[in-house]
Amino acid sequence: MLYKTDMSASVDRPRVLVVGAGPSGLTAAHRLRGAGFHPVLIDQRDRVGGQIRTRREAGYLMEEGATLLPSAYRPVLRIVEELGLHDALIPAGSRVGFARDGQVHELRSEALFRDAVRSPIVSARSKLALAQLGLVNARIGKHLSYEDLSSAGRWDHETPKRFCERHLGLSGEAYDYLIDSTVRGVLGVRSDTISVVELFFMINNILGTTLYAFRNGYSEYIEALAAGHEVRLGATVRELVETADGVRASYTDADGDHVEEAAAAVVTIRGDRIPDLLPGYFTDPSCEAFLRSLRYTKCVVMNVGVTTPPPGVRASVSNIPESIDPGVMGFTCEHNKAPGRVPDGHGLLAFLAMTEHAERLVREDDDTVREWFLRGAEKVLPGLSDTVDHTRISRWNEVIVYSRPGLYRELGEFVRRRPRGSRIELGGIFWSSSNICTATCSGERAVRDLLPLLRADASPPAGVPVTVGERALDGVA
C-alpha cells in the first residue's frame, strides 16, 4: 500500500527495503526519498510507528507508548521542520515531579540541578553531592552522542549506584528519592543494574532540557513521516541476504511467503534478532555475539482518564521511588503536558510498570493490571481510584536495551569491527541510550553509509536534495 498520499512518481527510482516502520525505519525512508531513492517499508505490525501510538478515545488523547519529546532531540526537531510540522509542535509543561512524604515535589526540567539544590526534598549534605554530580555531568555532557554512545565508553565501568557511592558519597535519601527514582521513572529499570552512562545521558539529553509535545499526540509526527511511502504491513521479514548486485528479503504476510529484491536495505529491528535475520552478514564473530547479548526491557502502561485532576500536581512527568512502590516506575499527567487532551475539567494520567513487574503483567488480563496499577497509584495520589472515568492498558514486549556496565565499551568494538561497504546497514536503538532520537540518528546514519554505494550504482534523478542528517553529500548542501 501507499501510505496516505500517492507518491507513485518515485516508483521508477532504485528501490531500497527498510525493515521496521518505527521512528528509525521511517527516518531512513524519509532520508532515502530525499536522496532520490524509493524506500519500501516492511513491518510485522498492522500499523506504522513501532513504539509510538496515540489513541483518541472517550474524549481523551492518550499516548500508549512514547510520550517525552525533549528540546535536546535536535535531529527529530529538524525533521519536524522539514515535514512542515512546526505548528503542530507546542511547548509542553516541563516540570518533573518527585514523590516523597505524601507530596509530589517539583523541579523544572531545564533547571534540574539548580532546583534540586534549592528543594527541601534532600538534606544540605546531599545537596553538596548533587552539586558535584552537576559538575561531573557538565564535563561528560559533550560525549553523550545519540548516534554512537561508545563515545562515552571511558566512563562506562559501573552502575549509577556504585558511581554515586564511590565518587560523590551520595547514598540514602538523595540517592533513593532523586537518582534511583529518576532512573526508574525514565527507563523503568533499577539504577544498581545499568551503566552509569545512562544516568548522565538522561540528565543531559532528556530531563535536563525543556519539553515539547505534538498538539495531536506523537502519532501526528509518525503520520507525517510515513505519508507517501510504500509500506507493507502485517509482513514479517524472515531472512535478508546480500546478492551480487542487491539484496533479497524473504517475508511472510497473510497471503503467504514472498521474496522481494532491491538495491539495498536498512534493518531497524531489535539487535538480538539481527544475526538470525542476516545469515552470513557478520564476518567477525564478536559483532554477532555483541548483538545476541543485548537484552530488552518490557513495559505495561495504563492510561487513566479521571473526572478531577489530582490536586496540587503540576508536573508533566513524575517519578515514584522504590520505597513508595517498587512496581510502578512513575506517571505522566497529560493534562499538565499539553492542552486539548481531556474533556473539560478532567485529567489524564499514564502509569508505567518497571520491567521486572511488566514481565508478569504483560500476560495478565486488563482487570488484574488495572487493580495492580491503582494500588500503586493510591500510595502517591490517594483517592485517585474514586475519580476514574476511563482506562486503557497497553503491553510492550520490547522497549529499551537493558544496559549493563561495559555495554558501551563493547559497542565501541562493534562499531570498529562491523561490516563496511555492505548493501545492508543497521538502524535501531542499540547504538546509544534507547529513545526516539537515537532511533532517528541511527536511521539517518544507516542511509548515509549506504549512499556512496547506491550512488555508484546509478545517479539519482537531477534536482533532488542529497542532504542526510547533518552531513551533506557530494558537497551539495
Ligand X SMILES: Cc1cc2nc3c(=O)[nH]c(=O)nc-3n(C[C@H](O)[C@H](O)[C@H](O)COP(=O)(O)OP(=O)(O)OC[C@H]3O[C@@H](n4cnc5c(N)ncnc54)[C@H](O)[C@@H]3O)c2cc1C
Other Cβ atoms closer than 10 A to 227: 15
Would you count residue 24 as binding ligand X (CB under 6 A)?
Answer: yes
Q: Which stretch binds ligand X (CB under 6 A): 16-24, 106-114, 119-127, 321-329?
A: 16-24
Would you count residue 250 as binding ligand X (CB under 6 A)?
Answer: no
Instruction: Measure the CA–CA gap between 193 and 246, rounded to whole angstroms.
Output: 42
In whole angstroms, how close is the CB of 21 to ligand X at the nearest point?
A: 6
Half-sphere CA count of 268, side-chain side, radius 13 A? 36
* DSSP track, 283-329: SSHHHHHHHHT--B--EEEEEEEESSPPTT---SEEE--TTT-SSEE
276-335 residues near ligand X, rule: CB under 6 A: 299, 301
Handedness of CA 19, 22, 28, 33 (dihedral sign): positive
In whole angstroms, how close is the CB of 354 to ligand X at the nearest point?
A: 12
Q: Which stretch binds ligand X (CB under 6 A): 18-26, 31-39, 192-200, 357-365?
A: 18-26
Would you count residue 214 as binding ligand X (CB under 6 A)?
Answer: no
Would you count residue 217 as binding ligand X (CB under 6 A)?
Answer: no
Q: Which is nearer to ligand X, 44 or 119 (CB)?
A: 44
E runs forming strands in 198-346: 211-214, 230-232, 236-242, 247-253, 256-262, 264-267, 299-306, 317-319, 328-333
436-465 residues near ligand X, rule: CB under 6 A: 436, 439
In whole angstroms, how close is the CB of 144 to ligand X at the nearest point?
A: 14
Residue 387 grid coordinates? 475519580
Would you count residue 399 as binding ligand X (CB under 6 A)?
Answer: yes
Q: Which helix (H) or strand (E) holds 181?
A: helix 181-187
Amino acid at 388: V
Instruction: Measure the CA–CA gap between 160 and 182, rounded to whole angstroms.
Output: 11
Q: Which of 44, 145, 171, 210 binds ligand X (CB under 6 A)?
A: 44
H helix intervals, 407-467:
407-417, 436-457
- Sketch the per residue contact string, 224 through 243, with ligand X: x for CB under 6 A, - otherwise: ------------xx------
Q: Which helix (H) or strand (E) holds 96?
A: strand 95-100
Handedness of CA 24, 27, 33, 34 (dihedral sign): negative
Q: Which of 45, 127, 143, 295 binds ligand X (CB under 6 A)?
A: 45
259: helix, strand or coil: strand
Residue 457 grid coordinates? 550504482
Would you count residue 50 as binding ligand X (CB under 6 A)?
Answer: yes
Closest-CA residue to 171 (of 160, 182, 187, 156): 160
Q: Which is nearer to ligand X, 51 or 336 (CB)?
A: 51
Residue 174 grid coordinates? 538523595
In whole angstroms, how close is the CB of 41 to ligand X at the nearest point?
A: 9
Would you count residue 21 as binding ligand X (CB under 6 A)?
Answer: yes
Q: Which of 16, 17, 18, 19 binds ligand X (CB under 6 A)?
A: 19
- Sketch the per residue contact string, 343 through 362, with ligand X: x for CB under 6 A, - otherwise: ---------x----------
Would you count residue 187 as binding ligand X (CB under 6 A)?
Answer: no
Q: Which of 361, 429, 454, 468 binds ligand X (CB under 6 A)?
A: 429
Instruction: Measure the CA–CA gap between 458 and 467, rounded to whole angstroms.
Output: 17
Residue 388 grid coordinates? 476514574
Size of residue set near ligand X by CB under 6 A: 33
Would you count residue 269 as binding ligand X (CB under 6 A)?
Answer: yes
* C-alpha distances out from residue 209 to 223, 313, 460, Å: 26, 20, 39
Residue 255 grid coordinates? 497471503
Would you count residue 72 as binding ligand X (CB under 6 A)?
Answer: no
Instruction: Measure the CA–CA gap between 284 and 287, rounded to whole angstroms.
Output: 6
Would you count residue 51 as binding ligand X (CB under 6 A)?
Answer: yes
Q: Which of 104, 434, 468, 469 binds ligand X (CB under 6 A)?
A: 434
Q: Which is nearer to ligand X, 113 or 431 (CB)?
A: 431
Would you count residue 417 as binding ligand X (CB under 6 A)?
Answer: no
In whole angstroms, how close is the CB of 383 to ligand X at the nearest point?
A: 26
Q: Which is nearer to ligand X, 110 or 165 (CB)?
A: 110
Would you count residue 203 as binding ligand X (CB under 6 A)?
Answer: no
- What are the residues whose beta carbons fall under 8 Å from the beta carbon of 452, sequence distance 6 or more? none
In whole angstroms, how close is the CB of 145 to ligand X at the nearest point?
A: 15
Q: Which is nearer to ligand X, 323 or 397 (CB)?
A: 397
- What are the residues whose beta carbons fall under 8 Å from the beta carbon of 78, sequence distance 6 or more? none
Q: Which is nearer to ligand X, 422 or 434 (CB)?
A: 434
Report residue 187: phi and psi, to 5°: -110, -20
Binding site for ligand X (CB under 6 A): 19-25, 42-45, 50-52, 65-68, 236-237, 268-269, 299, 301, 352, 396, 399, 428-429, 434-436, 439
